[in-house]
Every structure is written in structure tokens, then in C-alpha cells.
A and B are shown apart, each in its own frame.
Chain A
Amino acid sequence: MNTLAVKLPGLDLKNPVMPASGCFGFGREYSEFYQLSELGAIMIKAATVEQRYGNPTPRVAETASGMLNAIGLQNPGVDQIVGEELPFLNQYDVPIVANVAGSTVEDYAQVTEKLTASNRVSALELNISCPNVKEGGVQFGTDPDLAYNVTQITKQHTHLPVYVKLSPNVTDITAMARAVEAAGADGLSMINTLTGMKMDLHKREPLIANQTGGLSGPAIKPVAIRMIHEVYRSVKIPIIGMGGIESTEDILEFMLAGASAVAVGSANFKNPYICPQLIKELPATLHEHGWSSVHEVIGGAHRENNQSSVSRA
């Protein structure tokens, strides 16, 4: 068995590491640093029906072991993404996961149809968890009935596998996971950012112009791992894990909790080479801890006997 390869709905991953949506644009900038085909997959920035200009600045602030951001889903709109960004990405041998966002259920359906018709993406990631926009986004991600509805309608408009990106800003993440699984989700990606705020002592007001922002980075890693651990026990669909990953040990922690693959987010800002570096180092870390492939790690913390090799990936 290949050491790093993972097979998930719609995604034949040569390794389980991909950049997370919103932290990698549409790949152009990072393609100047390394070959994008080294990546397991690429989760591209959210697409909406129309172009979005995003929030006023400042949009980011550093925090203890992380950062806040409130970009506000700035993107050129699904037509330009399909027309210009996806053809660029298709020169690389790497599966593309397209992130779908909107203000209404109809928006999600329309973006889903256009991305599906492009024949240039391998799977969709349903963004029902962006904390930085007034409408849509997280309202769908905090109410199980709304999440069920938007997932079901999205599924009706595509033959592609749909991964629903869950928000941690809920009391019971397992209720959200069960709802989208029941609606036909093929997988989950989790977690999105945690809503936070930072004050500017000189201006005596929130530093981020949007006031609140989404907290990411190592500060949220324990929350992500705990939620993945809970959700893994509650649903059968696979999980792509994210939230503060910076090292190969972090990847193995996420996998033990139940993630079949992982996404690296804001750590790309600190080190543009982090994804290929983690991919290169992962086999050695696996072996160091007594594993010969990532399959042996996935969900390992849930098994009575850790030697078992049963996994859902």
C-alpha cells in the first residue's frame, strides 16, 4: 500500500495534504514557489455568483498563536473563476476542490451548476461557515435544518461529490454533521474559523474593520481535533481536517482523531513552502511513530486495538 495516497469521494489523492480554501487564492502566487502538482489537492478560494469586493481594511490581525481575518469572500465571481482560474490550474496534475458560497440557497445552486459544468473540478466544498459576511455563510452553518436544506439542493445540482465545511461556532457540531450527512453530503471539511475580536488600544475600538474576524492558526488546533474526534463517531462520511496545522505531527494528530486528509491554512502565510515540506517529511514522521502508511493512522484514536488497520479512507 502506498504510504501517503488516500482515496476519498471524487478525490484520488497522491498525498493527504492540501492548502485550505481562502489561504491559497487560486494557486497562481504559490505556483511561483513550487510545482502545484506536488500537492494532494487544492481547495480554491470561495466562488460566489457575482464578483465580491469583500470587507474594508484592516482585514487581518495577529493574535497569540494565530490570526484573525475578515476578508469577506472577496472573489472575482464564478464566471471568471471558471473562465480564467480553473484553466490555469488544470495545467497541473492535481485535483481541484472548488469552494461554493452564497447569500441564498439559489446562489449555492447557481454556483454549483457553473462549477460542475466546467468539468474542471473534482469535488465541491460547500461553504456554510464563513463568519465574515452578513448574509449567508454561517447562518446556514449554525442551523441543522438550513444546513440540511442547502446541502440537499446543492446535491441536486451536481454529480460531483460535496464536502460540507462546518463551522465550529455551534454548541453541538455533531448535530450539524449528522444533518448534512442525512442530506447527502459525501464528506466534511472541518473546521472553519472561530469568531473572535481584537481591540486597538490607540483607537479604542475593534482593530478589524469588520469588528469580528475568524480566528485561525495553532490557537484553534485543539478545538479542531476535539470536534473531528466527536464527529468521526457520529457520521460515516470522511473528514478533511483543518485548523492550525503546521507540522507533520499535527497531521498525524488530526488523522488519529478521524481526518482522512488535511488542509493547511494560514500557515501558508508564514511559510509559503509549508505544504510541499510537510508532504516530504510525512513518511519519516509516520515511520518514526511506527506506522507504514497514513491508512493505519486515520481514526486510530477510536480503535480499541491500535494495530487495527480498518479505516474509512
Chain B
Amino acid sequence: MMKQELMTIMEHSTVAKDTYMLVIQGESVAPPIDPGQFVHVLVSRDFFLRRPLSIADVNFANGTLTLLYKELGKGTQALSLKQVGETLDVLGPGGQGFPVESLNIEKALLVGGGIGVPPLYYLAKQLTDKGVAVESVLGFQTKEDVFYEEHFRALGEVRVMTNDGSRGDKGFVTDGLPEGEEAFDMYFSCGPAVMLKAVSDQLASYPGYISIEERMGCGIGACFACVVPADSGKGYKKICRDGPVFRPEEVIL
């Protein structure tokens, strides 16, 4: 159930180049919140559209959400200037997340690219809580962009890939995927569409879930702005309402 709330900024810090961690507190932080869900943030009255930001972590005891975002334009730039103690107009949580509850798996592979990494952290925590072994492949452009590597390492094996090889291994996430039978039972991926397509093509023999990003309007499913072509070749799925998490076979990337 989505709610609109003025949430309070508890922490706001830099975690990598142009990348920030924002911890916000409010009454709407109550179960259930699934990994892969997002909040739709109104940075200030100066902006006409909200920004969808994926939930990177949840602390129900403290009533906080952790968001990790990258400064990519005027909206996120203005957001980066917000101070601890200020409030933020938040609508959420929205969308369908990764169905952790219903999974019956032993080993999970998480594949994240850039600012697609954040929702996988909350997912990794939920999976390990459930007793699922987690291995992560995290891709970034360069070493300055890498964030949360140690957070993921605390939950399982991690392989970092950078485009220029300045940290971890050189290459794309698709160059770092584990090989061999029974390396994992299911994969979970979030990142740009081209990466999701490459990952889901390469891992076509495995079941998996992908989380898609797109510019959104209302963020609740009413305006038909953020859509992805459906597998049938006819029609679209709404990313904000039917997703952002889909089975790769449900959509055409």
C-alpha cells in the first residue's frame, strides 16, 4: 500500500563519486516492504515530477529506509544538497519487488550494474536471512564509482568488475558471471536495459528476475509513461505497477 509522507532525513553522505546514501525516517516504513520496490521522491516544489529511487535497505525498528542514488541531473543534484533534519516528500513503497518469500532455492546469483546495485543489497540481506547462499557480481565504470562492496562481501562472495579494470576485474558484469553446473539456482539482476538484456541472454538456461529502470510519471500505474513491451509482442507492462521486477521472459528488452 503506497502512502505519501514527509519523511525526515537522518543521514546523508557520499559513498562513491557522485553517489550518495540517504537514510530517511517515517511512519510509512512498515512491513511488508520487498526488495526491488521503490519510493517516488519529490525533491522540492521546484520540480514537477517525482524521482523513483529503489530501496537499498530497510530498518523497521528505526522506521528508516536507505536509498542510494547517483547525481545524474538537476533533480538528483538538488537532492544531494538536502541536509540531515530536512524533510522529503516521499510516495511509496511502490511496485512489485523480488518475491523472496516464495522462493525455494539454495544458491542465488546477484548481478548489479552501477546504480542498479542498490536494490540488490536489501535483496541479499533478505536472501541470507532465509538461509540462501548469495554470490554477487557488481559492475561499475571505474574504481571511483564502486560502492557497498564491503556490505555485499559481508553477505557472501563478491566479484567486482570495472570497465577500465581500475578495481576488481576488467570488463562488464557479463564477463564475470560464474560458470559451471550448479553454480547457482536462480539469478537476480538490476541495471541498465542493455546490461539486463545481455545478462538474461547469457543466463537464459537459469530462472531469474530482473528489475528495470525507466523515467516515470505518476509512479502508481495510472499514466502509462513507464512501460516495457510485453513478451507477447503485443502491449506493454507497466514498470511502476507490474514491475519494476519481472521474469525476463515476461518482457522484451
B118 to chain A, nearest CB (A): 22
Mask of B215-240 contacts with A, CB within 8 angstroms, 1/0: 11111111111111000001110000
Q: Are A269 and B215 in contact (CB under 8 A)?
A: no
Those of A47-65 within 8 Å (CB) of chain B: 51, 53-54, 57-63, 65
B65 to chain A, nearest CB (A): 19
Q: Are B235 and A270 in contact (CB under 8 A)?
A: no
Q: A29-B221, A30-B222, A270-B50 are in contact. Are A58 and B215 (CB under 8 A)?
A: yes
A161 interface residue (CB < 8 Å to B): no
Contact of A62 among B48, B220, B235 (CB under 8 A): B48
- Complex Cα–Cα for A92 and B231 (A): 35
What residues on B are CB-neighbors of A63 within 8 Å? Answer: 48
B92 to chain A, nearest CB (A): 11
- Complex Cα–Cα for A270 and B48 (A): 7
Those of B1-39 within 8 Å (CB) of chain A: 1-2, 4
- Complex Cα–Cα for A272 and B234 (A): 30
What residues on A are CB-neighbors of B236 within 8 Å? Answer: 53-54, 74
- Complex Cα–Cα for A24 and B222 (A): 5
Q: A268-B222, A270-B42, A272-B218 are in contact. Are A60 and B227 (CB under 8 A)?
A: no
Give 20 pairs: A residue, B residue, CB < 8 Å, sorted on A. A30-B220, A45-B224, A57-B214, A58-B214, A59-B217, A60-B223, A60-B225, A65-B48, A71-B224, A74-B236, A266-B48, A266-B217, A268-B222, A269-B50, A270-B48, A270-B50, A271-B4, A272-B4, A272-B218, A273-B4
B87 to chain A, nearest CB (A): 15
- Complex Cα–Cα for A60 and B51 (A): 12
B171 interface residue (CB < 8 Å to A): no
Q: Are B225 and A69 in contact (CB under 8 A)?
A: yes
B206 interface residue (CB < 8 Å to A): no
Mask of A64-98 contacts with B, CB within 8 angstroms, 1/0: 01110101001000000000000000000000000
Q: Are A71 and B222 in contact (CB under 8 A)?
A: no
Q: A269-B50, A270-B42, A270-B50 are in contact. Are A62 and B75 (CB under 8 A)?
A: yes
Main secondary structure of the interface of A (DSSP, over half): loop
- Complex Cα–Cα for A273 and B218 (A): 12
Q: A62-B49, A269-B50, A270-B42 are in contact. Are A23 and B223 (CB under 8 A)?
A: yes
B241 interface residue (CB < 8 Å to A): yes
The list of the 6 closest CB pairs from A to B, nearest first, reads A25-B222, A60-B225, A269-B218, A29-B222, A62-B49, A29-B220
A179 to chain B, nearest CB (A): 31
B47 interface residue (CB < 8 Å to A): yes
Main secondary structure of the interface of B (DSSP, over half): loop
Interface residues of B, Cβ cutoff 8 Å to A: 1-2, 4, 42, 47-50, 75, 91, 214-228, 234-236, 241
Since A62-B48, A74-B224 are in contact, a sample of 4 more A-B pairs with Cβ atoms closer than 8 Å, ordered by chain A residue number, is: A59-B227, A60-B215, A71-B224, A266-B217
What residues on B are CB-neighbors of A65 within 8 Å? Answer: 48
- Which range holds the interface residue count of chain A? 35 or more
Q: Are A57 and B49 in contact (CB under 8 A)?
A: no
What residues on B are CB-neighbors of A24 within 8 Å? Answer: 222
Q: Are B48 and A51 in contact (CB under 8 A)?
A: no
- Complex Cα–Cα for A32 and B221 (A): 11
Q: A23-B223, A32-B1 are in contact. Are A270 and B49 (CB under 8 A)?
A: yes
A22 interface residue (CB < 8 Å to B): yes
- Complex Cα–Cα for A33 and B48 (A): 20
Q: Are B223 and A22 in contact (CB under 8 A)?
A: yes
A238 interface residue (CB < 8 Å to B): no
Q: A60-B217, A270-B42 are in contact. Are A54 and B48 (CB under 8 A)?
A: no
Those of A239-267 within 8 Å (CB) of chain B: 266
A16 interface residue (CB < 8 Å to B): no
A40 interface residue (CB < 8 Å to B): no
Q: Are A69 and B222 in contact (CB under 8 A)?
A: no
What residues on A are CB-neighbors of B226 within 8 Å? Answer: 57, 59-60
Q: A67-B48, A217-B48 are in contact. Are A53 and B235 (CB under 8 A)?
A: yes
Contact of A74 among B2, B50, B91, B227 (CB under 8 A): B227
Q: A54-B236, A66-B48 are in contact. Are A59 and B224 (CB under 8 A)?
A: yes
Q: Are B221 and A25 in contact (CB under 8 A)?
A: yes
B214 to chain A, nearest CB (A): 6
Q: Are A25 and B235 in contact (CB under 8 A)?
A: no
A301 to chain B, nearest CB (A): 27
- Complex Cα–Cα for A29 and B220 (A): 6
What residues on A are CB-neighbors of B48 within 8 Å? Answer: 62-63, 65-67, 217-218, 266, 270
Those of A218-254 within 8 Å (CB) of chain B: 218
- Complex Cα–Cα for A67 and B214 (A): 16
Question: For residue B1, which residue of chain A has the nearest CB?
Answer: A32
What residues on A are CB-neighbors of B218 within 8 Å? Answer: 23, 29, 268-269, 272
